[in-house]
Amino acid sequence: MKPKVTKRVCNKVLAQGKSML
């Protein structure tokens, strides 16, 4: 996995977690 892709996925997960709260 490229660092860029990993960062993107992390941001996506963080966004999902925030919307869940």
Angle at 14 between CA 12 and CA 19, to 5 degrees: 95
Query: What's the confidence (pLDDT) of residue 8?
Result: 95
Query: What's the confidence (pLDDT) of residue 20?
Result: 74
Query: What's the confidence (pLDDT) of residue 1?
Result: 64
Number of H-type helices and E-type strands within the chain: 1, 0
Query: What's the confidence (pLDDT) of residue 3?
Result: 85
Ordered per-residue pLDDT tens for the chain, 21 residues: 688 999 999 999 999 988 877
